[in-house]
Chain A
Amino acid sequence: MYRKIRSFVGRRRNWTIPYVLFLAFFVIVPLALIVVFAFSNNEGGFSFTNFRKFWMQPEAMNTFIYSVGVAIVTTFICLILGYPAAYLMSRMEPKRAKLMVILFILPMWVNFLIRTLATVALFDFLKLPLGEGALYFGMVYNFLPFMIYPIYNILQKTDQNLIEAAQDLGANPRQVFLKTTLPLSTPGISSGILMVFMPVISTFAIAELLTINNIKLFGTTLQENIYNGMWNYGAALSLVMLLLIGITSLINSDGSTKAAEEGNLI
């Protein structure tokens, strides 16, 4: 008996069993359930009712389009703010750059709900109105580090010889940036875009808190449906969102796999 257990534990392959079980119960089964629920009507039969409803109902569709818009704008603002920050950090001496990275990442150690509630309090204190502006502020504030870090990482690893080669071939500082530094940092940019765009699409707490429920994002719609027992419709909406995220990562896959290989993803 003892020897049997020993040989069972001794085999490396068996060590993965707990993880496989966990994965099956908490990832694969729920995903399968979402698909099943999405493609069935209230009576449990197979149907496309839920998708038809989404397509026909202007409210859900509009929220979806608006959410994608918010995600695009947020990602764009993060890129505009994040690239220069990453660039400046990559040119600093390593010690100072490390300190800056820590300062950027430090807020992430606080739960993001608490951070967002604090932002609400801050807006109240400064007598600023909550609403769309506050929503964008909250989104950018929360997701900016995810843009800065991958870009910083790739810029910092850029081969200094390539910069020198460009200078040597007659490029002035502006041309060095446009023709060498920027194209070489595209894997970092696409990895950053992916890491901001995907979570922004699905977040709902920030929108709820910072607009006092005035602006609804797709995540909110989803949450409401599930909350109100409309499981089938909710599952269909989740599937739509999953599809969108899937498409974004596919478009990005070239750059992001390269970035992931170099350990850029946090």
Chain B
Amino acid sequence: MQQKIDNSIITVEKVSHAFGDKTVLDNINLSISKGEFVTILGPSGCGKTTLLRLIAGFLKASEGKITIAGNEMTQIPPHLRPVNTVFQKYALFPHLNVFNNIAFGLNLKKLPTEEIKKRVMQVLKMVGMTDYEERDVDSLSGGQQQRVAIARAIVNEPEVLLLDEPLAALDLKMRKDMQMEIKAMHKKLGISFLYVTHDQEEALTLSDTIVVMSEGKIQQIGTPTEIYNEPANAFVADFIGESNILNGTMLKDELVEFAGHTFECVDKGFKSSEAVDVVLRPEDIYIFEKTDVAQFSGQVTSCIFKGVHYEMMVTTPEDYEFMIQDYQSFVVGKTVGMRIKPNDIHVIRKERYFNSFEATVVDKLHIRFSGHSFKSFEAVKFEAGTKVTARINFENVTLDDNEENGMLRGVICFILYKGNHYHVTVRTENGDHFYVDTNDIWDYGDRVGIVINPELIEIETI
């Protein structure tokens, strides 16, 4: 990590925020340097917009400290903060024309009319909207409204420009053009940009630094290349770009086993036979006619032309599925050989190896955790009231279509395809997470019942 403290324009320290009893941000630490382009990237509902609103001042953090340009600003109202925001739906004032929309902030500062006119004309030129100053904002296209929204923010010369998914409402072509313009504008203005998006490609294109968020937590902070090439965990690997993510075992330093084969790799420092996640980018797997140089083989099950490359799904005899991208196509049904360079195998330490809950023994047959009393045959070994740890392997949790059939109810909040099965995260009503390995296909947001076989709950003393 670089030392950024001296140069930072915004620091967010230990910030947590909750709506009611739902925690949306959990202990966020972040620092933004002067002139840096930082993107907060994450799926919807990960807390990224909340974080931006905390910095803009529309929300007051429940816990933690926010410093902007050296001043503590955690509880300061938005009109006194040296930041300006570009809103997702532009939020242009419908009762004012383009000129007066842009001049809104300058008028409030009571600057001389000449100065206001000069500065408005300057930014209009910068966003390529000269001659539009008399226009009604409702008569502008989405892209033009977006330009006015940006002009209205930057004309105030903020220390930091906050952008809340500013391109989400535009079509693809327009979005690409605007991305380039925003990048050029950032270079020209020299101020910091804090950009919120759920579009990973946008984040990779624009940013100096990307902050990947999920479930109210920061998953990784790094440059686009770092995030893409060295994802910190399976979530980041899955969210940024396409990936094959598989369960593997680290046999010894620089030797990993996955998909039923052993591969040389470059990672070390793991315990012997430690369970790991292996990330393979689809463009890093070489595919060719089956020959002796192949490390493993498989059969092509689908082949789609994607413009520059072909995207193929290949199933190995061990029943693992790989996504492979190559300029060369192979027909469906063909047996092919594959090879992966040691450098292209990314080994990631697993965040957890099993479900683990703090539990209390209720009686000889039951233990209580996650707000529910579960039957467990191991409970007999402990006194009632003992505090213990309940451990359930991923494959021993069953999900039921019918919520009512489960001991607990939950919602599917993350799905990871592991080549031959799905690793599903279920969030229960009280906010606990259950991690499940399953062959069934679920969707995000599915409501499920959670069932655990009493024989398969292992109990350990703390």
* Interface set of A (CB-CB < 8 Å, partner B): 159, 161-162, 164-172, 175, 179-180, 183-184, 186
Q: How far is the CA of A164 from the CA of B89 in the complex (A)?
A: 12
Residues of A within 8 A of B57 (CB): 167-168
Residues of A within 8 A of B188 (CB): none
| B307 beta carbon closer than 8 Å to chain A | no
> Residue B79 contacts which of A162, A172, A183, A186 (CB distance < 8 angstroms)?
A172
Q: B93 and A162: CB pair below 8 A?
A: yes
The 10 listed contacts between A and B (C-beta, < 8 Å) are A159-B91, A161-B91, A165-B93, A166-B93, A168-B83, A169-B79, A169-B84, A179-B108, A180-B93, A184-B95
Most buried by A among B57, B79, B109: B79
Most buried by B among A162, A169, A183, A186: A169
Q: How far is the CA of A159 from the CA of B88 in the complex (A)?
A: 13
Q: B108 and A183: CB pair below 8 A?
A: no
> Residue A168 contacts which of B56, B93, B95 (CB distance < 8 angstroms)?
B56
Q: Which of B22-60 contact A (CB under 8 A)?
A: 56-58
Q: Which of B141-171 contact A (CB under 8 A)?
A: 152-153, 156
Q: How far is the CA of A159 from the CA of B78 in the complex (A)?
A: 17
Knowing that A168-B78, A168-B153, A169-B105 touch, tell me 10 more A-B residue pairs with CB under 8 angstroms.
Answer: A162-B94, A164-B78, A164-B87, A166-B104, A167-B77, A168-B56, A169-B104, A170-B105, A171-B104, A171-B108
Q: A162 and B91: CB pair below 8 A?
A: yes
Q: B91 and A167: CB pair below 8 A?
A: no
Residues of A within 8 A of B85 (CB): 164-165, 168
Q: B79 and A167: CB pair below 8 A?
A: yes
A165 touching B87 in the complex, CB below 8 Å, given contacts A180-B93, A184-B94: yes
A161 touching B79 in the complex, CB below 8 Å, given contacts A166-B104, A170-B108, A175-B108: no
Residues of A within 8 A of B89 (CB): 161
Residues of B within 8 A of A159 (CB): 91
A168 touching B84 in the complex, CB below 8 Å, given contacts A180-B93, A184-B94: yes
Residues of A within 8 A of B153 (CB): 168-169
A164 touching B104 in the complex, CB below 8 Å, given contacts A169-B84, A170-B156: no
Q: How far is the CA of A225 from the CA of B58 in the complex (A)?
A: 62
Residues of B within 8 A of A168 (CB): 56-58, 78-79, 83-85, 153
The range of chain B's interface size is: 20 to 34
Q: Which of B70-101 contact A (CB under 8 A)?
A: 77-79, 83-85, 87, 89, 91-95
Residues of A within 8 A of B95 (CB): 183-184, 186
Q: Residue of B at shortest CB range from A182?
A: B95
Q: Residue of A at shortest CB range from B104?
A: A169
Q: B58 and A167: CB pair below 8 A?
A: yes
Min distance, Cβ B333 to any Cβ of chain A, angstroms: 54
What number of A-B contacts does a CB cutoff of 8 Å give?
Answer: 61
Query: 6 closest A-B pairs (Cβ-Cβ)?
Result: A169-B105, A161-B91, A165-B91, A167-B78, A183-B95, A168-B85
Q: Which of B92-127 contact A (CB under 8 A)?
A: 92-95, 104-105, 108-109
Q: Which of B371-388 contact A (CB under 8 A)?
A: none
Residues of B within 8 A of A186 (CB): 95
Min distance, Cβ A142 to any Cβ of chain B, angstroms: 32
Most buried by B among A161, A171, A180: A161
Q: Residue of A at shortest CB range from B158?
A: A168
> Residue B109 contacts which of A161, A170, A179 (CB distance < 8 angstroms)?
A170
A164 touching B79 in the complex, CB below 8 Å, given contacts A169-B108, A170-B105, A179-B104: no
Q: How far is the CA of A168 from the CA of B91 in the complex (A)?
A: 11
Min distance, Cβ A177 to any Cβ of chain B, angstroms: 13
Q: How far is the CA of A162 from the CA of B92 in the complex (A)?
A: 7
Q: Residue of A at shortest CB range from B56?
A: A168
Residues of A within 8 A of B83 (CB): 168
Q: How far is the CA of A203 from the CA of B58 in the complex (A)?
A: 48
Q: A164 and B91: CB pair below 8 A?
A: yes
Residues of A within 8 A of B108 (CB): 169-171, 175, 179
Min distance, Cβ B76 to any Cβ of chain A, angstroms: 12
Q: Residue of A at shortest CB range from B58?
A: A164
Q: How far is the CA of A166 from the CA of B77 in the complex (A)?
A: 12
Q: How far is the CA of A212 from the CA of B91 in the complex (A)?
A: 55
Q: A171 and B87: CB pair below 8 A?
A: no
Q: How far is the CA of A92 from the CA of B92 in the complex (A)?
A: 25
Min distance, Cβ A258 to any Cβ of chain B, angstroms: 11
A170 touching B79 in the complex, CB below 8 Å, given contacts A161-B87, A165-B87: yes
Min distance, Cβ B201 to any Cβ of chain A, angstroms: 26
Residues of B within 8 A of A183 (CB): 95
Q: How far is the CA of A148 from the CA of B193 in the complex (A)?
A: 43
Q: How far is the CA of A169 from the CA of B156 in the complex (A)?
A: 8
Residues of A within 8 A of B77 (CB): 167
Residues of A within 8 A of B94 (CB): 162, 184
Min distance, Cβ A182 to any Cβ of chain B, angstroms: 10
Q: How far is the CA of A12 from the CA of B183 in the complex (A)?
A: 59
Residues of A within 8 A of B58 (CB): 164, 167-168
Q: How far is the CA of A166 from the CA of B92 in the complex (A)?
A: 10
A171 touching B79 in the complex, CB below 8 Å, given contacts A164-B58, A165-B85, A166-B104: yes
Most buried by A among B78, B83, B153: B78
Residues of A within 8 A of B87 (CB): 161, 164-165
Q: How far is the CA of A219 from the CA of B94 in the complex (A)?
A: 40
Q: How far is the CA of A175 from the CA of B78 in the complex (A)?
A: 13
Q: How far is the CA of A162 from the CA of B152 in the complex (A)?
A: 13
Q: How far is the CA of A170 from the CA of B105 in the complex (A)?
A: 6
Residues of B within 8 A of A184 (CB): 93-95
Q: How far is the CA of A107 from the CA of B78 in the complex (A)?
A: 42
Q: Residue of A at shortest CB range from B109?
A: A170
Residues of B within 8 A of A170 (CB): 79, 105, 108-109, 156
Q: How far is the CA of A186 from the CA of B94 in the complex (A)?
A: 12
Min distance, Cβ A5 to any Cβ of chain B, angstroms: 51
Q: How far is the CA of A167 from the CA of B57 in the complex (A)?
A: 9
Residues of B within 8 A of A169 (CB): 79, 84, 104-105, 108, 152-153, 156
Residues of B within 8 A of A179 (CB): 104, 108
Q: How far is the CA of A66 from the CA of B105 in the complex (A)?
A: 46
Q: Residue of A at shortest CB range from B93?
A: A162
Q: How far is the CA of A169 from the CA of B94 in the complex (A)?
A: 16
Min distance, Cβ A170 to any Cβ of chain B, angstroms: 5
Q: How far is the CA of A168 from the CA of B153 in the complex (A)?
A: 9
